[in-house]
């Protein structure tokens, strides 16, 4: 069974994939433990799950003996996967001194018998009869407006939303899976600037990236960072989207964190 998450993400446990519903070319592969962990969180959506419960159902029941650190690492894997597809990592909440909770809109996806002109059906949202502890959590602004936007499918703003999601996912996928190195377009102190996309990099792109970096008040003097920059226009050609991913290097020169920034003109 597949699950629709927040109306835009499809989770396929059988293939261990998270993907955008309207663009299955943008996918994130999950590890086997990460897939089992997400299944538990989805089935218990909006319920707090203790660390002990998750460790038992995801690892011990399969013959493994993990630690709390293992659980935290796979929670981080899931958060990064959602973030790469344009969804806030706050979809997975940490409950202090307890464990974790998923806070999303979940729909199991069922398929009718194959026939010409068949329409995909979406079952009612997953619910549970168990009482749910209320927790004061500040909702992410993306969730509050996203559902209403998607329901107005013919609105012009829809094209821009999916353009931003596609750009965000493309940057993640290109930096993680591409065999070709991004082109270096500039250096500023300890920051290296790289251009993404098929267009030939220009000095104007470098200037735009540096301005976005300055506006975001990102320090290049003390910390090693790689800056990935791309520009795009939605189909209506009326707006220009600038997207920048700022990746902080750890001591072994791998990426410790990557934060996304976008500017629409």
Residue 99, domain CATH: 1.10.10.10
Any domain includes 132: yes
**Beta partners for 245?**
228, 260
CA-based torsion, 94, 99, 104, 109: positive or negative:
positive
Chosen domain end from 109, 138, 167: 138
Inter-residue contact 4 to 106 (CB < 8 Å)? yes
Q: Is the pLDDT of residue 164 over 90?
A: no
Mapping DSSP to helix (H, G, I), strand (E, B) and coil, where does residue 85 land? coil
Q: Which residues contact 143 (CB under 8 A, 6 or more apart)?
A: 6, 88, 91
Is the pTM higher than 0.75?
A: no
137 vs 262: which has the higher pLDDT: 262
What is the number of domains present in the chain? 2
Residue matched to tokens 């990460």: 34
* Interval 31-89: pLDDT, tens: 999 999 999 999 999 999 999 999 999 999 999 988 899 999 999 999 998 988 888 88
Asked if 195 and 134 sit in the same domain, the reply is: no
Residue matched to tokens 């750009």: 167
* Interval 196-254: pLDDT, tens: 765 666 778 788 888 888 888 888 888 888 888 887 754 445 566 777 888 888 776 67
Inter-residue contact 228 to 244 (CB < 8 Å)? yes
Asked if 199 and 253 sit in the same domain, the reply is: yes
CA-based torsion, 172, 29, 256, 259: positive or negative:
positive
Structure tokens at 187: 């250096």
Asked if 127 and 156 sit in the same domain, the reply is: no
Any domain includes 161: yes
Whole-number Å distance between alpha carbons of 28 and 164: 17
Any domain includes 144: no
- The torsion of the CA quartet 48, 91, 176, 150, rounded to 10 degrees, works out to 140
Range of the domain at 56: 2-138
Neighbours of 72 (CB within 10 A): 13
| Sequence-ordered strand ranges (E) for the chain | 2-5, 9-12, 17-20, 23-29, 49-50, 92-95, 99-102, 106-110, 121-122, 183-188, 191-195, 225-232, 241-249, 255-264
Structure tokens at 165: 């999601």
Buried b (16+ CB within 10 A) or exposed e, 245-264: bbbebeeeeeeeebebbeee
Asked if 98 and 224 sit in the same domain, the reply is: no
Mean pLDDT of the chain: 75
Residue 122: phi and psi, rounded to 5, are: -120, 125
Neighbours of 133 (CB within 10 A): 10
Asked if 120 and 163 sit in the same domain, the reply is: no
Q: CA-CA distances (angstroms) from residue 234 to 104, 166, 243, 245?
A: 28, 11, 13, 19
Q: Looking at residue 218, what is its pLDDT? A: 87
Q: Looking at residue 46, what is its pLDDT? A: 94
């Amino acid at each position: 069974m597949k699950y629709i998450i927040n109306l835009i993400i499809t989770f396929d446990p059988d293939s261990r994939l998270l993907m955008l519903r309207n663009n299955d070319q943008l996918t994130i592969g999950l590890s086997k433990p990460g897939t089992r962990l997400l299944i538990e969180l989805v089935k218990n959506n909006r319920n707090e799950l203790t660390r002990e419960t998750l460790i038992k159902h995801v690892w011990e029941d399969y013959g493994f003996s993990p630690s709390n650190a293992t659980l935290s690492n796979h929670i981080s894997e899931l958060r990064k996967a959602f973030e790469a597809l344009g969804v806030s990592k706050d979809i997975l909440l940490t409950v202090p001194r307890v464990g974790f909770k998923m806070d999303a809109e979940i729909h199991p996806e069922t398929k009718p018998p194959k026939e010409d002109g068949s329409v995909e059906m979406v079952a009612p949202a997953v619910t549970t009869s168990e009482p749910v502890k209320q927790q004061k959590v500040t909702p992410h602004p993306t969730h509050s407006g996203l559902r209403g936007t998607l329901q107005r499918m013919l609105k012009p703003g829809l094209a821009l939303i999916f353009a931003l999601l596609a750009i965000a996912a493309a940057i993640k996928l290109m930096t993680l899976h591409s065999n070709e190195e991004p082109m270096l377009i500039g250096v500023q102190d300890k920051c290296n600037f790289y251009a993404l996309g098929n267009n030939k990099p220009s000095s104007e792109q470098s200037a735009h990236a540096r301005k976005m970096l300055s506006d975001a008040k990102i320090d290049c003097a003390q910390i090693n960072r790689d800056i990935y920059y791309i520009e795009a226009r939605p189909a209506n050609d009326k707006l220009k989207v600038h997207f920048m991913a700022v990746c902080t290097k750890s001591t072994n020169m791998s990426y410790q964190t990557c934060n996304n920034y976008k500017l629409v003109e």
